[in-house]
Structure 1
């Protein structure tokens, strides 16, 4: 893997974003549909990509309400659809019709975190197959992938599922990862296995290392965070909470030719953990607008 330095002069040429900066500025920003999230969206530029999560804690209705609100505000909205929360095909059709009515054309289909399926669907592939023979106006469908594995699913099973899902999908979104070598190595492995979906890199937005640690262990990517603290000497700062994580450092360790190839990497999916104002300020700084 070829590395390069991401510094201010790497971000723009004649005032125009290039390379990693272009990916950062055009990133989709993941939002958790909690109270007050709609107001925080005002910090984002008009037309920004906003991905609304779907969790067992809040349910499908909360996701749909925030999707409709963000769409009315003029954002490009990508709803998460956690299939384990869908009871049957009728409910799936209701979900699709409602996001269509909101003007949504992009849907991100995942298995979801629910321990038990609410009904007939237990895996994303099952919903993808039903969507494929359903009349709808969705033009892009994304699926999840796991560069550093899944705590409950074997790597071979994950690969087989991704190979099967790509027949119904347009892109894949990676789980949060802090290790660029692991990310690039995994991408090479799945390409060799015949998976050709373009990747949206799942990347944490800037925040304090302590906050990032708390959230990362909650969503099961603690091992990747250990890599980050070891590589950057942040163990002491992690305890003290005196350091901040810089997502551009991960991008700076990836071959710029790979970042620039949309067939390989089409963009970023920023896990903001609802630190939306800080994420927007970082995007402006990268673009030179701050």
Structure 2
């Protein structure tokens, strides 16, 4: 959710199990008050806030400490997501999420678990070898500081690169829990817009496998097939370790949470 999505969270709360982790973004057009208020709303409603820290958006160490301090006041620092962020040029001393982790400040403000980004299909602006090295470095830095870690991936339409990437992560000795990103139900045109923005593969064959067609941009699509296929593939590979899901709510919190509830009920 974003800082503006508190009304949407209120609307969807009946469909979200208590204790669910809900990430709160760190957008350039939102301010400190909005981010803290959103994290507090998540906490007050019985969920687990996971505020984002966008490294390249931070103008100073003081801004990072102010943000962490305010989050700690509302009980929202146990879980955070450290990410580089959109700006090409850092606005302050942190060029990437690794530099935020290495600052040593997180545990000072009560952080116990840090989510870090994973990119099964790569990143449009970062070379694969750099992504691999940073994943290893961040995992090692968190372990050295006694902090738990979670790898939270970019969303995907195709299970094949996701499964290959999970295997490569495990082959490098990283046994951290992986939360595979998938969009909740949303309009096809909206999904493709986010795919282009984030460099996610979305050719005709891939999206047909996911469950929609490029010729019907007015329709909607959900992750039913993707989740079912991923579950089947991972069940065949015990070395995959702990793998869960992370939902990107491009179609709204209510639509995503209701889909998850209904899909889960159908499986049981």
State whether TM-score is above 0.5: yes
After TM superposition, give the deviation of residue 173 of structure 1 in Å: 0.3
Runs of at least 4 residues of structure 1 off by over 4 A? 259-263
CA contact (8 A) 2:163 2:233 kept: no
> How has the CA–CA distance of structure 1 residues 204 and 262 changed in structure 2, closer, same or farther, with 3 Å as cutoff?
farther
Q: What is the distance in 2 between the residues matched to 1:193 and 1:207?
A: 35
Q: What is the distance in 2 between the residues matched to 1:267 and 1:198?
A: 8
Equivalent residue, structure 2, for 1:286? 263
Structure 2 residue aligned with 1:107, among 72, 75, 80?
80
Q: What is the distance in 1 between the residues matched to 2:152 and 2:120?
A: 10
Q: Does 1:127 align with 2:104?
A: no
Q: What is the distance in 1 between the residues matched to 2:95 and 2:167?
A: 28
Q: Does 1:33 align with 2:3?
A: yes
After TM superposition, give the deviation of residue 227 of structure 1 in Å: 4.7
Equivalent residue, structure 2, for 1:49? 21
After TM superposition, give the deviation of residue 125 of structure 1 in Å: 0.4
Q: What is the distance in 2 between the residues matched to 1:253 and 1:152?
A: 29
CA contact (8 A) 2:3 2:25 kept: yes
> How has the CA–CA distance of structure 1 residues 116 and 59 changed in structure 2, closer, same or farther, with 3 Å as cutoff?
farther
> How has the CA–CA distance of structure 1 residues 230 and 288 changed in structure 2, closer, same or farther, with 3 Å as cutoff?
closer
Q: CA RMSD in A?
A: 2.6
RCO (CA 8 Å, sep 6+): is it higher in 1 or 2? 1
> How has the CA–CA distance of structure 1 residues 258 and 131 changed in structure 2, closer, same or farther, with 3 Å as cutoff?
farther
> How has the CA–CA distance of structure 1 residues 118 and 127 changed in structure 2, closer, same or farther, with 3 Å as cutoff?
same
Equivalent residue, structure 2, for 1:85? 57
Q: Secondary structure at the match of 2:216?
A: helix
Which shifted more, 274-283 or 260-269? Answer: 260-269
After TM superposition, give the deviation of residue 62 of structure 1 in Å: 2.6
> How has the CA–CA distance of structure 1 residues 262 and 128 changed in structure 2, closer, same or farther, with 3 Å as cutoff?
farther
Q: Secondary structure at the match of 1:131?
A: coil
Q: Secondary structure at the match of 1:95?
A: helix
After TM superposition, give the deviation of residue 236 of structure 1 in Å: 2.0
CA contact (8 A) 1:47 1:74 kept: yes
- TM-score, normalisation: structure 1: 0.78
Q: State the Cα deviation string for residues 191-237 of structure 1 (Å, max 9, x = none).
A: 2223322201111001232332233223332x246553243461222
Q: For residues 1-290 of structure 1, what are the structure 2 equivalents within 5 Å?
A: 31-34=1-4, 36-45=7-16, 46-104=18-76, 105-131=78-104, 134-167=107-140, 168=142, 170-221=149-200, 223-224=201-202, 226-231=204-209, 232=211, 234-238=213-217, 241-242=218-219, 244-254=220-230, 256=232, 258=234, 264-273=241-250, 275-288=252-265
Q: What is the distance in 2 between the residues matched to 1:109 and 1:225?
A: 30
After TM superposition, give the deviation of residue 40 of structure 1 in Å: 3.5
Q: State the Cα deviation string for residues 138-189 of structure 1 (Å, max 9, x = none).
A: 2211100110000000000000000100021511100011110000001112
CA contact (8 A) 2:157 2:207 kept: no
After TM superposition, give the deviation of residue 271 of structure 1 in Å: 0.2
Q: What is the distance in 1 between the residues matched to 2:106 and 2:246?
A: 28
